[in-house]
Chain A
Amino acid sequence: MTATTPHAAGFGDGTAPSTPAGKAADYLDQRLGIAGAAKKNLRKIFPDHWSFMLGEIALYSFIVLLLSGVFLTLFFTPSMNEVTYNGSYTPLDGIKMSEAYASTVNISFDVRGGLLMRQIHHWAALVFVMAITVHMLRIFFTGAFRKPRELNWLIGFGLFVMALLEGFAGYSLPDDLLSGTGLRIAEGVVLSIPIIGTYVSFFLFGGEFPGHDLVPRLFTIHILLVPGLILALITVHLILVFYQKHTQWAGPGRTNENVVGLPLLPVYIAKAGGFFFLVFGIISLLAGLVSINPIWTYGPYVPNEMTAGSQPDWYIGFLEGSLRMMPNVEFNFIGHTLSLNVLIPALIVPGILFTGLAVYPFIEAWVTGDRREHHILDRPRNVPTRTGIGVAGCTFYGVLWVVGGNDLIATHFHLSLESITWAGRVVVFVGPAFAFWITRRICYGLQRADREKVLHGREAGVIVRSPEGEFSEVHAPISDGDRYRLTAHDVHRPLSIAQAADANGIPAPRLRRAKLRARFTRWYFGTRVEKPSTEEYRESITSGHH
């Protein structure tokens, strides 16, 4: 290194900053070299669309969770030791309970702002998982998971699973009647695992249920392990979004090779900052006005107590429904019990559902044989089979969800509990199939409507009468931009097997696999609505059929 290296910028060359902020930035730049990185990244472009902000809701509610969670840890005692309550909530006066429950009641009644913080934390948790779910649905239905973003889909899926785990751990911490009931079910689910279930249960609970170890363990999981993992995964998730750039909707000037939008600084910093405060504000408003998890009315957990309307928070509700719906099937042989009535609904069904969710991008890539990079989003109608699968999945989940609240539906709509369960058992199979079929039909219909719009314009709402007396509606041509948007998508075609056998009659390698794949792509893309070709469009203009 010689003295000529230009590392002395700012020394008497007339560009020395004069403002305090400038001086501070210069100080940091000389030591960390942030100017280069900032110059590139602060002008990073993000496209504008409301549906791109759903993940942000999840991020902001997670920040709210961290902030309110830190407050709660200062006053919560993660212990199952028995104490006698003597706090200011008199209806529990003199009742024996765990320290965890007592400290949660204390947070609610004796810590200034404690109840508000608890409610902020709990509402933020519901918002967090909801935002992840809605964000994930957006990614799914627009095909944003396609190459090169499959790995980020997996990270997002990991975040979703972590969020469920984190939520369940948090729900279980206060050791109230509902959380204890939830843990009892979790124990039952663990026990239903063949052969190792009992050992795993003893390992998790540190002995017989409920024991004394679980709350401290869940505490570590809830405030350290899982949040740490979530934070790390969010970081990678966002780095990948930054690095791979955001997807965008097709439009004039928006191609697969560019990103059209506004720069991070100043526009998105302001928008994102503002949105953070809106999300924080809505959560605080909810927490200030609407009660959530009033554990003092549930009472402390005692294994022999139970309450009607015992339900988990919404994101575990589908498992509850799955359990409630399952017929009682259990086998006994040589002194061992195989509890299919718990194993299937609580482990196998969610296992299939979640595995399907995680690997869907890879399955679709294999079926369609599409190896290209995609940065332009699909309109859900243009990929009817994917949209159909998505809606079928939502229907399946939705049926489980509804049956999870079957007792409340029974009492509020004056129905019989059994008829709801039986309806659920049928609809959980028939519903997704029907949803798939009808969604595909709707998608094709919408595509045909788009085609009509491109060829004949939109309906102007003006009815004219011709000299012959015929009534017809005037169709106004749509703008070039709209025409581009309606025709930017690819019309996919099924793959075909190039050659089943060569000239000498030797079958092509991996023929069976290729055949299977061809069958799948036929199912995927067999029915399709063609885009209007240039000739068709020209003809529609010259023939004057607008």
Chain B
Amino acid sequence: MKSLSTRRRHPLAAFVVLALGLAFAGTLFAAFVSPAASADTGESAAQQLANGKALYISSCSSCHGKNAEGTGLGPSLVGVGAASVDFQVSTGRMPAKQLGAQVEAKQNIFSTQQIQDMAAYVQSLGGGPQIPAAGQYAYDANAVALGGQLFRENCSQCHNFAGEGGALTDGKFAPKLTQTNPQQIYEAMLTGPQNMPVFSDKVIPPAEKQAIISYLLNSRNEPNYGGAGLGRLGPVSEGLFIWTVGLIALLLCAVWIAAHTTKASAQKAAQAAAAGKAGK
């Protein structure tokens, strides 16, 4: 006890107290708001709505409003539908870390059950697109060619021919599609998150959505037939490659050839050097 009282005025004491306090608060928070804590299955519809609402209040309402009516920080969620919630939360985009040009994908912290609860709650507020069934976005080998055509017509101008993503205005961008799972791709087309336009079932019917997804899955798994793909970015990376690796290799060859002369003249040079030394 004595040691504690003598050290309480130590210059670092304040920092130690702060660190302990933060650790305590963090542990407490983790204990009460653990994502896994309320992941019980088989709940009734009413329970689901109640759970969803509770999660909504704790994780979403500060920006979207207590009644999902929207605030200056986030839009109203009435009518956006369950598909929208599932896309935004399962890709980690929501809850947003910070407001910027675009909310970026990050690690998702909610369980599937929690996301479903929130989705059900938001769905109950004013309808909207439902979460698609697994069959709707299953890979169909026969639809790949059609999907490619649709992808080039509707998607590649932002997402690039190989789904590698591309730039939009003011720091916004169309993300890569090489990791996104099929369900999320389907939901994105259905709900048009952030800068993406909505491709409703009237514009692109469900079968064509499935074709686009099949094309993307196929192109994702397709080998680069020509060798290293250079990021599948087109001529820019090819030009960069030739001006770095290619040019250096060629110049090294040129320097090597120019530096190596005939044996006879090399001997002559060596003799001249030796004679020059002897002369001195």
> Which residues of A are at the interface with B, using a C-beta cutoff of 8 A?
48-54, 56-57, 90-95, 108-109, 115, 119, 123, 126-127, 130-131, 134, 177-178, 262, 267, 271, 274-275, 278-279, 282, 286-294, 296-299, 302, 304-314, 317, 404-408, 410-411, 414-419
Please tell me which one of the listed residues A50, A134, A314 contacts residue B235 in the complex, with CB atoms under 8 A apart: A314
5 A-B residue pairings within 8 Å (CB atoms): A130-B247, A292-B226, A305-B152, A307-B160, A411-B167
Chain B nearest CB, measured from A141 CB (Å): 15
CA distance A416 to B253 in the complex (A): 40
Q: Given the known inter-chain contacts A108-B225, A299-B161, please indicate yes or no for A406 contacting B152, CB distance below 8 A.
A: no
Q: Are B238 and A313 in contact (CB under 8 A)?
A: yes
Contacts of B246 in A (CB 8 A): 123, 126-127, 130, 282, 286
Q: Are A279 and B250 in contact (CB under 8 A)?
A: yes
B:225-248 near A, CB below 8 Å: 225-230, 232-236, 238-243, 246-247
Q: Are A311 and B226 in contact (CB under 8 A)?
A: no
Chain A nearest CB, measured from B251 CB (Å): 7
Chain B nearest CB, measured from A320 CB (Å): 10
Q: Are B235 and A53 in contact (CB under 8 A)?
A: no
- Would you give the 0/1 interface string for B203-223, flagging 1 where the beta carbon is closer than 8 Å to chain A? 000000000000100110010
Q: Are A91 and B242 in contact (CB under 8 A)?
A: no
Contacts of B162 in A (CB 8 A): 297
Closest A residue to B249 by beta carbon equals A282
B174 at the A/B interface (Cβ < 8 Å)? yes
Q: Given the known inter-chain contacts A53-B254, A305-B153, A308-B167, please indicate yes or no for A130 contacting B144, CB distance below 8 A.
A: no
B:26-82 near A, CB below 8 Å: none
Q: Name which of A95, A108, A286, A404 has the most chain B CB atoms within 10 A of its CB.
A: A286
CA distance A302 to B152 in the complex (A): 9
A91-B219, A130-B243, A302-B152 provided; 11 other pairs, C-beta below 8 A? A91-B145, A108-B225, A262-B265, A271-B257, A275-B257, A294-B232, A297-B162, A302-B153, A308-B158, A411-B173, A417-B171
CA distance A108 to B226 in the complex (A): 9
Chain B nearest CB, measured from A285 CB (Å): 8
Closest B residue to A282 by beta carbon equals B249
Chain A nearest CB, measured from B165 CB (Å): 6
Q: Are A297 and B251 in contact (CB under 8 A)?
A: no
Q: Are B224 and A291 in contact (CB under 8 A)?
A: yes
Q: Which 3 A-B pairs have the closest CB atoms?
A: A308-B166, A314-B239, A291-B226
Q: Are A309 and B227 in contact (CB under 8 A)?
A: no
Q: Are A305 and B144 in contact (CB under 8 A)?
A: no
B148 at the A/B interface (Cβ < 8 Å)? yes
- Would you give the 0/1 interface string for B249-267, flagging 1 where the beta carbon is closer than 8 Å to chain A? 1110111011101100100
CA distance A294 to B238 in the complex (A): 11
Q: Are B161 and A298 in contact (CB under 8 A)?
A: yes
Q: Are A127 and B250 in contact (CB under 8 A)?
A: yes
Closest B residue to A182 by beta carbon equals B235
Q: Are B227 and A289 in contact (CB under 8 A)?
A: yes
Closest B residue to A312 by beta carbon equals B235
Chain A facing B: main interface SS: helix
Q: Given the known inter-chain contacts A115-B226, A134-B247, please indicate yes or no for A91 contacting B161, CB distance below 8 A.
A: no
> Which residues of B are at the interface with A, using a C-beta cutoff of 8 A?
101, 144-145, 148-149, 152-153, 156-162, 164-171, 173-174, 215, 218-219, 222, 224-230, 232-236, 238-243, 246-247, 249-251, 253-255, 257-259, 261-262, 265
Q: Are A415 and B171 in contact (CB under 8 A)?
A: yes
Contacts of A278 in B (CB 8 A): 253, 257
Contacts of A299 in B (CB 8 A): 148-149, 152, 161
Please tell me which one of the listed residues B219, B227, B253, B255 contacts residue A291 in the complex, with CB atoms under 8 A apart: B227
Contacts of A52 in B (CB 8 A): 258
Q: Are B253 and A267 in contact (CB under 8 A)?
A: no
Closest A residue to B226 by beta carbon equals A291
Q: Given the known inter-chain contacts A291-B230, A309-B234, A313-B239, please indicate yes or no for A297 contacting B250, CB distance below 8 A.
A: no
CA distance A293 to B218 in the complex (A): 19
Please tell me which one of the listed residues A115, A134, A307, A415 contacts residue B161 in the complex, with CB atoms under 8 A apart: A307
Closest B residue to A298 by beta carbon equals B161
CA distance A271 to B170 in the complex (A): 54
CA distance A478 to B236 in the complex (A): 46
Contacts of A291 in B (CB 8 A): 224-230
Contacts of B158 in A (CB 8 A): 308
CA distance A437 to B206 in the complex (A): 62
Q: Are A119 and B161 in contact (CB under 8 A)?
A: no
Chain B nearest CB, measured from A235 CB (Å): 23
Q: Given the known inter-chain contacts A50-B259, A408-B236, please indicate yes or no for A119 contacting B167, CB distance below 8 A.
A: no
Contacts of B265 in A (CB 8 A): 262
Q: Name which of B164, B174, B234, B249 has the most chain A CB atoms within 10 A of its CB.
A: B234
Q: Name which of B243, B257, B261 has the most chain A CB atoms within 10 A of its CB.
A: B257
Q: Are A131 and B250 in contact (CB under 8 A)?
A: yes
CA distance A406 to B219 in the complex (A): 25
Q: Are B152 and A177 in contact (CB under 8 A)?
A: yes
Please tell me which one of the listed residues B232, B254, B257, B259 contacts residue A297 in the complex, with CB atoms under 8 A apart: B232
CA distance A408 to B259 in the complex (A): 40
Chain B nearest CB, measured from A46 CB (Å): 11
Q: Are B255 and A289 in contact (CB under 8 A)?
A: no
Contacts of B224 in A (CB 8 A): 291, 294
Contacts of A308 in B (CB 8 A): 156-161, 165-167, 174
Chain B nearest CB, measured from A113 CB (Å): 13
Please tell me which one of the listed residues A90, A271, A317, A406 contacts residue B145 in the complex, with CB atoms under 8 A apart: A90
CA distance A363 to B233 in the complex (A): 42
Contacts of B262 in A (CB 8 A): 262, 267
Q: Are A306 and B156 in contact (CB under 8 A)?
A: yes
Chain B nearest CB, measured from A463 CB (Å): 26
Contacts of B229 in A (CB 8 A): 291, 294
Please tell me which one of the listed residues A53, A92, A123 contacts residue B257 in the complex, with CB atoms under 8 A apart: A53
Contacts of A312 in B (CB 8 A): 235
